[in-house]
Chains A and B, each alone.
Chain A
Amino acid sequence: MDKPKKPSPVVNPWVKPFWEAAREGRLVYQRCRSCGTNIFYPRIACISCFSDDLEWVQSSGKGTVYSYTVVESNCPSAFVDDMPYVIAIVKLQEKGVQMLSNIVGCDPVDVRCDMPVEVVFEKLNDDITLPKFRPVALK
């Protein structure tokens, strides 16, 4: 069986600025100009006040691992060659901004809950560059 291609995210029109920024190495989220709520993932309207007056803001790219798992078997077929790989929920420093990603740049066994991480960017294809995270080096 041919190995399926890596799934590329479905991109809705209002989400395009997110992926354009990621291609340029910036992690962005939305902020409501009416009520100040931080919004991630990108929405059509504010999740708090329904305003559609939203601005794009650059994230610090720094956060912590809320939870993680090392995928060792029975993964979706497009990811077989990546195993073992780490899936994690990362909470960014910016209030209310959290996302699923992969932890890269370390031995999977070293990942822990609440570990500090920072964003890195990995090109998936010509259109999509995925934000991923690596441990922040201990000083």
Chain B
Amino acid sequence: MSNLKGKIAFVGIGEIPTGRYPEAGAISYAIESAKMAIRDAGINKEDIDYVLPTAALFSPAFNTELVTCRVVEELGLKNVKRNAQIFAGGSSSTCALEIAASLINSGGASTVLFVHADKLGTGVSLQGGIDLFSTAGISSEWEVPYGQHYSAIAALATNRYKYETGTTDEELASICVSNRKWAELNPNAFFRKPLTIEEVMASKMLSTPLRAKMSNMLFDGGAAFIVTSAERARDITDRPVYLLGEGGTVTHFVYSQEPDVSRFGWAKAGKMAFEMAGITPREIDVAEIYDSYPIYQLIGFEELGFAERGQGGKMFINGDTWPGGKIPCTTNGGMLSQGHTGAGGAVALMVETVRQLMGKAGDRQVKNARFALETATGGTYMDAQVTILGTEIP
């Protein structure tokens, strides 16, 4: 078990609204988000000694700029020891957090800025986006020749899960509805109009039983966070958000080699994170579960102990996960409603987790949120990453 519990804390977050910005270069999303995070933390920008940009997928040239220190120069940072890209697909934010935490705890870094920016909404053509995401991370040896793509991958998990649990399509659709109820309250979300189960069920069939409104859409976006030692965080702010627990497990590269597409590695990763944090699911006030498709959110929700297997869907239907419900889930609206920005899907979710614990979530603030759990996964759901954060150290 890692010894990082309570040793580091978030002190600042920044995020631009997820959207379509054809005119603005992607660097502006990174700079805007980073500036917001620095101002939010109330620190001197020269306190930042490490910058960890994650990857942008829309353009190899732009990504190279992130690798070669453009963010440091654009922000005029003078005391940065190292700028290094941390990229693990959808798990990038979690991986960067754990690396930053270890660096800070060992004394190798003092104040770390993580930043994401991508332009998948307007920086690639619609067909280009489909082609990128029909092959990125999918095995060109064993799966691409059979017409494999991301909707089908989610559908394969959905059908096996339905077969084993008896969960209905309406229950799966209710996850999209639950996320939308949160997005209605989130000014940074792209889809904010109310959504009904009937509308989800009437949308175009993609890969059975997955429908168009059960699928995420790609947008432009950017987000950033700043972490430092717990000690320093207490000097900077009266509401540091501590890292309490973390767990992770890598389960596959080729999707068809995953041992259990109706569970993945969440139970193992969750056990590690809860043991480290010293709390149980019952004490979690907010469950920020990675979606991208409803099936992953439902599986994560159940495997991490917020519902019995096969019973989670009922909680999404009856409002337990909605604003005001007993276990608020994915309170930014997730990728299904805030929008998918590449590696940014789980960056947005991590920023939202911190935002809720800092008490800065506006109309969707979960009252008295003390402990929150956040998940992330990358590629074809190749791994399960669980982070537990809190405003106090239990």
Contacts and interface: CB of A to CB of B under 8 A. Distances in A.
A73 B204 contact: yes
Interface in A80-139: 82, 85, 87-89, 98-102, 113-114, 124, 128, 130
B141 A11 contact: yes
B144 interface: yes
B24 interface: no
Interface of B: 127, 130-131, 134-135, 140-149, 151-152, 155-160, 163, 204-208, 210, 212, 254-257, 261
20 contacts: A6-B145, A7-B140, A8-B145, A67-B261, A69-B210, A71-B207, A73-B205, A73-B206, A75-B152, A76-B135, A76-B147, A76-B149, A77-B127, A82-B147, A87-B147, A87-B148, A89-B256, A99-B142, A113-B160, A130-B146
Nearest to A128: B145
Contact of B144 (A9, A82, A99): A9
Interface of A: 1, 6-12, 15, 41, 66-79, 82, 85, 87-89, 98-102, 113-114, 124, 128, 130
Contact of B147 (A1, A15, A66, A71): A71
B155 A9 contact: no
Given A69-B207, A69-B210, A72-B206, A100 B141 contact: no
Nearest to A12: B141
B256 A98 contact: yes
Nearest to B151: A74
A88 B261 CA distance: 12
Given A68-B159, A82-B147, 16 more contacts: A9-B142, A67-B160, A69-B207, A71-B152, A72-B207, A74-B130, A74-B151, A74-B207, A75-B207, A76-B149, A87-B146, A88-B156, A98-B257, A99-B142, A102-B147, A130-B145
B156 A67 contact: yes
Contacts of B255: 89, 100
Contact of B145 (A9, A70, A82, A89): A9
A113 B157 CA distance: 11
B156 A7 contact: no
B372 to A, nearest CB: 32
A103 to B, nearest CB: 10
B141 A72 contact: no
A41 B141 contact: yes
Per DSSP, are chain B's interface residues mostly helix, strand or loop, or mixed?
helix
Contacts of A98: 256-257
Given A67-B159, A68-B156, A75 B208 contact: no
A96 to B, nearest CB: 10
Contacts of A73: 204-206
Contacts of A114: 163
A85 B155 CA distance: 13
A41 to B, nearest CB: 5
B253 to A, nearest CB: 10
B161 to A, nearest CB: 9
A88 B146 CA distance: 9
Given A100-B143, A100-B255, A101-B146, A76 B210 contact: no
Contacts of B206: 71-74
B303 to A, nearest CB: 17
Given A76-B147, A89-B156, A113-B159, A41 B257 contact: yes
Contact of B148 (A10, A74, A100, A128): A100
Given A9-B140, A9-B142, A41-B257, A72 B127 contact: no
A68 B152 CA distance: 9
Contact of B142 (A1, A77, A85, A100): A100
A62 B88 CA distance: 36
B333 to A, nearest CB: 22
A110 to B, nearest CB: 12
B258 to A, nearest CB: 8
A70 B208 contact: yes
Nearest to A6: B145
4 shortest interchain CB distances as A-B pairs = A69-B155, A67-B160, A100-B256, A79-B147
A78 B206 CA distance: 16
Contacts of A75: 134, 147, 149, 152, 207
Contacts of B127: 1, 77
B141 A9 contact: yes
Contacts of B151: 71, 74
